[in-house]
Amino acid sequence: MTETLMKIRPIEEYALTVETMYRFTVILILQFTHASDQIRETIIRNFIARGMICLQSILQLWVFGNTSDCWILYRALIDRLFCLRTLAEKDEFEKFEKWSFMQQYEALNRVRSDPIFSVKADKKSLAPTKENKERYLKLKKDNIQWIRPKAETVADKSFGMPYLYSYGYDYASMYVHPMANDGENDYLRIIQDKTSTKDHIVVVHNSILIQTMLIQEGLKASNFLWRAIVNNFLDQCRYSLETGSQDHLETFAKLINAGPKYVWYQQKPNNC
């Protein structure tokens, strides 16, 4: 997303925002845990948690000088944003959970059944439980199908932001798939113990932006109405990317001061 290139903040500001978002996420996902054990809420909670760890990793890799892997993780982060939007729009959380279970079951079964894989102890450790086997056979009989969303379509049609694909997902894909100049920075880092990261700090900037969007997608898709202060914090995180404002730190302090018994949500009415 090239429009952010003129608004780059010092890395110290990004690091502080990421740390504050992490602490915010710890409290937020606990709210999900206490609120419900439904499939929808569990998937949303896990997407938010996975995205937050992904964001932390991008920051750490940038500091380390490994910018190529920053872009790879950035693509994975956008992919989860697109997937979550699609699951919510089509109300496919349960279908997605069943499909995921089948995909993982079959992948493990292929490894366990491969004649090359002859270590009996490992085969035994990969054996499915009786409950999982019974569930798989039932889902197989039900012919559960789910198709991953097309990133370009979601960016354009669902978000109305085609640049999320063009300058985000698609651009980052160049770091996922082999290219002729792969490893140029890595070569310099190994041989000369130096690498240039200044031209890639935008990946940290944009990753923070995408994670705030991912969290808000999850909040919107959940079965709960969230207090305004929760969305205010995320909006202020984005505003800090543009201006360097520290308002999000004050808002987070208010959330902390409210105490561990503070409830951030209420159940949505049935007609919502």
> Is the backbone of residue 5 left (phi > 0), alpha (psi -120 to 50) or beta?
alpha
- Residue 185: what pLDDT? 79
Q: Pick the range with the lowest mean pLDDT from 26-40, 107-121, 168-182.
A: 107-121
Longest dimension (CA), the chain: 63
Would the pLDDT of 58 be above 60?
yes
Mean local confidence (pLDDT), 181-189: 83
Q: For residue 15, how many other CB atoms are within 10 A of its CB?
A: 15
Q: How far apart are CA 82 and CA 76, in angstroms?
A: 10
Q: How far apart are CA 73 and CA 58, in angstroms?
A: 7
- Residue 78: what pLDDT? 98
Of residues 226 and 34, the one with the higher pLDDT is 226
- Residue 1: what pLDDT? 43
The encoded tokens of residue 194 equal: 């130096």
Contacts of 181 (CB under 8 A, 6+ apart): none
Contact 39, 93 (CB under 8 A): yes
